[in-house]
Structure 1
């Protein structure tokens, strides 16, 4: 059994994805821990057949689900790798992990992987979507889930990190090939983001990470989010869409890619802005009536 790292995977009705992910991990001989949130398909039987340690927890949001996984599983390795069920590791990353030894990374607490994201079978190469670095591997009981986020789940580690630019994971949610699934999913996400932004306006929710443009990939994201929150609602979705399509060359992703950039970069964020105003109006009416 691998003495250096273990895998943690979150699942919910992932029978179409989980076999693909587990196949990409085969041969690394690492313990696999799966936290499920109520699957009613074959996910649990697939996990059991693979010899994974399985537990269940009701889903609230991704940051809280990851927090539960990191704090309840009895992990014995010094490092963990946290993957979504719709991701797979590439042969290049597999080679890096095969050679990984904890003692070779003294003083390093986290490693960023590079992600290739797919939508309806097409790699979204432009629009700011590649390269895209995610902190996926870190020292157990050093890294943790950022609970100050409602929807954008990320892990945080103090100390030094590395970026494996050629350590690539592929992410393709096959269920999103049906656009009604994508819309329903992002409609739910928009509820979470709208609540989060209203709380930030009220200064009842803060960023965990230090916002630094020249910092780690996540610190840069924190910096850019601060800029985003200062932009006027209803204007910022269009500005962001133009930025992705024109300045980040999203137009080169073709028709499928342009649809993705429109839906994810404009439509989703416009819905968030509408819901923010609905929440603010509700709060204002409640204060007027004394409720």
Structure 2
């Protein structure tokens, strides 16, 4: 895991892993809350390193941490494995010939389960993965066969709307800057490629579509089926649409003014003397 001020998640995610994970590593970006305290109490191997982008941070973790388990799993502090997923992964790691394992992640928002599922690659044989070196939306790269696990990884999307909005504000700023600077995407965009390549293609061309925000809202509400979650589903669909609108407006502002946005401090604390610090 990587973290910055994740104390509100750390206890629960470590309880979820207790008795299942052989070892747990955390690369912390100098949290100012009790993230490190909680992790150390639970026996987690913690190091600290200033944040330089998601892809960069994950590649540091894979190359520098003393991982001994035969399989490695990327996990975010706001995610929880269901018992079915744990059993499925155990079986596949023992009997399967795959190089990587994909899982189904489902979204929880305002303590409701939304019918929003995403197939993501999260498990691989140790030493056989690198991440795309991008600021946001990093993607693991694994050569060889990828198989699908059963069960779900639950994504608890922020403890409250205040946290969610702050997170999305930072995300849209990073995306707007990346777009203006024409940085490489997670993978080359291709309309006829795999799911990730298609997503990158739509991400690149979305801004040219007339009525795009109405279409995006309708896609979330009707195609993804969030209407089944009632008002919570409507709110999430609306907010997700506004994330893209905010992203577009920030990009317009940068192009109009010629200035990059002022960064909102992430409020990291000082390095903790109890763990190694990599500068």
Q: What's the TM-score, normalizing by structure 2?
A: 0.84
Aligned partner of 2:233 in structure 1 is 257
Q: Residue 268 of structure 1 aligns with which residue? A: 243
Residues 57-96 of structure 1, C-alpha deviations (whole Å, 9 max, x = no match): 1123322221221121121233200100011111101222
For the structure 1 residues 159 and 209, does the alpha-carbon distance in structure 2 shift closer, same or farther, using more than 3 Å as the test? farther
1:225 is aligned to 2:225: no
- Partner residue in 1 for 2:184: 205
- Alpha-carbon offset, residue 197 of structure 1: 2.1
Is 1:88 paired with 2:80? yes
1:135 to 90, 97, 121: 121
Give me the whole-angstrom Cα distance separating, in 1, the residues matched to 2:184 and 2:6.
32
Match of 2:270 in 1: none
Whether 2:224 is the aligned partner of 1:248: answer yes
Q: Is the 8 A contact 1:234 1:270 kept in 2?
A: no
The 5 Å alignment of 1:173-212 reads 173-175=157-159, 177=160, 179-200=161-182, 204-208=183-187, 211=190
Are positions 1:121 and 2:96 aligned together?
no
Shift of 1:246: 2.6
Rate the CA distance shift 1:141–1:235 in 2: closer, same or farther, 3 A: farther
Q: Which has the higher contact order (CA 8 A, sep 6+)?
A: 2
Contact 1:70 1:144 in 2 (8 A): yes
Q: Are 2:59 and 2:130, in contact at CA under 8 Å, matched by a contact in 1? A: yes
Does the 8 A contact of 2:157 with 2:164 survive in 1?
A: no
Deviation at 1:162, TM superposition (A): 0.9
Conservation of the 8 A alpha-carbon contact between 2:3 and 2:77? yes
Residue 207 of structure 1 deviates from its aligned partner by 4.7
**Post-superposition shift, 1:52?**
1.2
What residue ranges of structure 1 are gaps of 5+ in the alignment? 1-8, 285-291
Residue 155 (str. 1) matches residue 140 (str. 2)? yes
Count of matched residue pairs = 258
Instruction: State the alpha-carbon separation in 2 of the partners of residues 210 and 277 from structure 1.
Output: 22
Is 1:167 the counterpart of 2:132 in the alignment?
Answer: no
Corresponding residue for 1:37?
A: 29
Mapped to 2, the partners of 1:212 and 1:139 lie a distance apart of 30
Q: Distance in 1 between matches of 2:96 and 2:36?
A: 34
